[in-house]
A and B are shown apart, each in its own frame.
Chain A
């Protein structure tokens, strides 16, 4: 067994060195449709009853086709940027790749479990920072021992306690910057095989931004493949060698960063 894993490691290492491309994410004609309740229609009871009697489909349920027929293959060691105007389906695509949003049709195949960087949804403003660190860690799937071991690092990284003992106060008493720093620190405490970052870079003050950028670079090294959603073309240029350009849910362009960004900037008139 040990011998085999040694062989495996050696061949993978050799593979990456020479440039053999090992796919980590394969998206095959992926379609994602959101169903939104309460989108329209006359909001009164008579209208609703008439609809039911006439067996019409409720106009209250609107379908939003957020990702249309997207296919791509991502390889180990790649950092891929996702660009596109607001509402073009970038975040939805990431969620579908992570398996958090079910696909309407098509499939995504992944190596291991891709994770979104972010724990905001699991944290509670009424709890102390301390309890949120533990809750967030558990929500991301860390074990209790792991959290205990990393607890101090997380708090130190966030810098919450630099101006006094704030970690034992409820999170709702934090300034928005402080809360954002703590959230990032918790989220960045875990390393992932396939890491997806959704505009998480620009939080906190200048000093913290520097620190978080360094942390993201570290995470990138640990992760097999990185996806980065950003409207900041500079941060895309700095980190990604390949870019996917989405517009209205459709994959417009997929290629090397310079090429795609040039076309994107021309299109958006920058």
Chain B
């Protein structure tokens, strides 16, 4: 039996007996609030409570993501077909430039599959980051109108990208089959690889969402950062080959090998391309993949949560 609530209501009863002079009159606002068990409006919930709230909103997150996807192509006559056309056209453009015009195969067997996997996997991270930057700053109206854990937004946006990726993956598997790869059990490895990448992307999107909500210049800056990252991720060329050919400082060496985008790309290549063997992978590749997912996932979530109460300010 809680004594606190009993005494509170005891006081209320006394107040009822003499309504003219309330015993609350002399209390400061804070003391008054405490007496009646009021809580500070808009205060940041504790971490466990926050996770619980976010989980409670999972249906909203899913519905919001799928609604955005539906709304995205609604004005185009081909509609949802663009979800397939966009990755296909992307692949065609990159193949035309890097495969045909520049001929930068650089001794890579099955360059088409190599290139397309690189592009699609990198695009997943890239678009998650871009969506994350605008997740808060682009949805202030929603944030200033309704209560929900704000992390719902970056998570929903990453989910949208994941859905797009799954469609791209279907396109990719067809292309990879056409290039002469034979389905094998190793293809199943793309499931853990993509799972880890998704966790990494959610964390990154959460972190970028907080940064993007405060630093409005980030939207302008992101394309350059992302392009640099794209070129450093071995999408069009083999990082291994570059590392072997040139004597790079150890720090560059390390950064290129630890680059999370490159790690996830190489894992999918390893899963799908027969000629892309274990020797092409950087050392401890699965440990690095798990490590990045954990660091970004947990770090991004904590970083985002720390500013939860301030996102309405814009």
Asked if A pairs with B, the answer is yes
The yes or no answer to A116 lying at the interface (CB within 8 A) is yes
Q: How many contacts between A and B, using CB within 8 angstroms?
A: 172
The contact string, 1 if C-beta is below 8 Å from chain A, for chain B 58-87, is 011001100110110011000000000000
| Interchain CA distance A103-B37 in the complex, whole Å | 20
Report B143 CB to chain A, min CB distance, Å: 7
Among B40, B70, B310, which residue has its beta carbon within 8 angstroms of that of A108?
B40
Within 8 A of A (CB), among B152-183: none
| Interchain CA distance A174-B61 in the complex, whole Å | 26
Query: Is A8's CB under 8 angstroms from B36's CB?
Result: no
Report A52 CB to chain B, min CB distance, Å: 11
| Residue of chain B at shortest CB distance from A116 | B145
The yes or no answer to A235 lying at the interface (CB within 8 A) is no
Query: Is A122's CB under 8 angstroms from B142's CB?
Result: yes
Query: Is A23's CB under 8 angstroms from B38's CB?
Result: yes
Taking A100-B147, A140-B146 as contacts, is the C-beta distance between A108 and B42 under 8 angstroms?
yes
Main SS of chain A's interface residues? mixed
The yes or no answer to B220 lying at the interface (CB within 8 A) is no
| Interchain CA distance A18-B97 in the complex, whole Å | 82
The yes or no answer to B223 lying at the interface (CB within 8 A) is no
Among B6, B36, B60, which residue has its beta carbon within 8 angstroms of that of A111?
B36
The yes or no answer to A219 lying at the interface (CB within 8 A) is no
Among A4, A100, A138, A141, which residue has its beta carbon within 8 angstroms of that of B5?
A4
- List of B residues within 8 angstroms of A135 by Cβ: 60, 63-64, 67
Within 8 A of A (CB), among B1-41: 1-2, 5-6, 9, 12-13, 15-17, 19, 22, 24, 28-30, 32-33, 36-41
Within 8 A of A (CB), among B134-149: 139, 141-148
- List of A residues within 8 angstroms of B15 by Cβ: 15, 20-21
- List of B residues within 8 angstroms of A73 by Cβ: 29, 32
- List of B residues within 8 angstroms of A170 by Cβ: 74
- List of A residues within 8 angstroms of B12 by Cβ: 11-12, 15, 20, 22
Taking A126-B70, A127-B71, A141-B148 as contacts, is the C-beta distance between A108 and B5 under 8 angstroms?
no
| Interchain CA distance A119-B145 in the complex, whole Å | 7
Query: Which of A91-99, A210-218, A248-256 contacts the other chain?
Result: A91-99
| Interchain CA distance A28-B24 in the complex, whole Å | 15
The yes or no answer to A43 lying at the interface (CB within 8 A) is no
Query: Is B19's CB under 8 angstroms from A126's CB?
Result: no
Query: Is A115's CB under 8 angstroms from B39's CB?
Result: no
Query: Is A121's CB under 8 angstroms from B142's CB?
Result: yes
Query: Apart from A24-B38, A124-B67, A125-B71, what 11 extra A-B contacts exist at CB < 8 Å?
Result: A7-B6, A12-B9, A34-B314, A71-B29, A107-B30, A109-B32, A121-B144, A121-B145, A122-B64, A140-B146, A141-B60
Which positions in B face A, CB cutoff 8 Å?
1-2, 5-6, 9, 12-13, 15-17, 19, 22, 24, 28-30, 32-33, 36-43, 57, 59-60, 63-64, 67-68, 70-71, 74-75, 139, 141-148, 216, 309-310, 312-314
Which positions in A face B, CB cutoff 8 Å?
4, 7-8, 11-12, 14-15, 18-29, 34-35, 37, 71, 73, 95-103, 107-111, 113-116, 118-122, 124-127, 131, 134-135, 138-141, 143-144, 170
